[in-house]
Amino acid sequence: MPALTDAGDRTAYLSAEGFLPDLLAELGGRPEIFGRLVLAEGPARPAAWAQNIWYAPVILPVASIGDAARQLKAIQRNWAAYAFHLHRRTSLIHEKLPPVAARPLAFGEAAPSAPLGSWCLLDEGRLLAAPRCSSPFPHGEARFVEDRSSAPSRAYLKLWEAFTVLGLKPEPGALCLDLGASPGGWSWVLQQLGARVISVDKAPLAPSVAALPGIEFRAASAFAIEPQSLPPVDWLFSDVICYPERLWRLVSAWMESGRAGNILCTLKFQGATDHDSAARFAAVPGSRLFHLAHNKHELTWVWKAIPRQP
């Protein structure tokens, strides 16, 4: 266990489950590691592989389980506990704190607005606590009431989560282009929002999606569609399976064309993570690169829809 006496000017980053090495590569330096929580020097900075960022954490000396709970409650009401060890002691402290409702959201509900802090025990006599975090969800993990009957695949959950996290989605009547659409999970979400959808893939859509009004299917490769061949679109979406370099060429063409108002796509990594390509996407002005709880070995990239986040 690393010995800590003062959190100082540091920030804690909770890695996405299974992707601690990627977060460490992204942050660099010589941080201290507690399970999948990384305590790094300096103020918060963009970290795509962090599921949640703990801002300005403090170390609290605690004399007992009750004392730990009292100190946390004196700061604020809502807390999420992260346990990388001392699980029983963490649970006993958690039970003395006010309950935090973490029910699954129905899609369309806003993300929680109440402040939610995070804490963990460093050892039996000290805890690390951050009253403010980057995500309103415990550990940055949004959960939803799933649709197990209408959606053709579970990929729809990525789009539900992205729209909820961003607080932004296509308006009814918006024209959306879904590249690599088959079997149609994202097109289904967009159609349910009232958008008009052009779905492009060499493979067909699920029949239940293809039959929906407002969806136009084009049997073609996502990479064969030239921006000038379509009317300007309000949103371009891509969950296509390809190397990040190829995706970069695709979205670059659309950005340069000026024919896409917003772009939301998935960077999928096959084998080792391509950190150079991820950094290239993250560096685009007006964009944000982040890991959704429903992402696997992939990142979500949004351009122009929201300003860059710290």
Q: In what order do the strands lie in the sheet with 10-15?
A: 32-34, 37-41, 10-15, 50-55, 132-133
Integer Rg of the chain from CA: 21
Contact (CB, 8 A) for 151 and 114: no
CA distance 167 to 189: 15
CA distance 226 to 258: 12
Segment holding 109, helix H or strand E:
none
Instruction: For 132, list phi and psi in degrees, rounded to 5.
Output: -125, 135
Q: What is the DSSP letter of 222?
A: G
Q: What is the DSSP letter of 98?
A: P
Of 73, 169, 268, 304, the active-site residue reads 268
Question: For 27, how many CA atoms within 13 A lie in the half-sphere containing its CB?
Answer: 30
Residue 245 CB neighbour total at 10 angstroms: 11
* Residue 19 amino acid letter: F
Answer yes or no: 268 catalytic: yes
Tell how far CA 242 is from the center of its chain. Answer: 20
- In sequence order, the 6+-apart residues with CB closer than 8 A to the CB of 176 are 170, 190, 195, 196, 197, 198, 233, 234, 235, 236, 237
CA distance 99 to 95: 8
* Residue 258 amino acid letter: G
Among all residues, which ones are annotated catalytic?
268
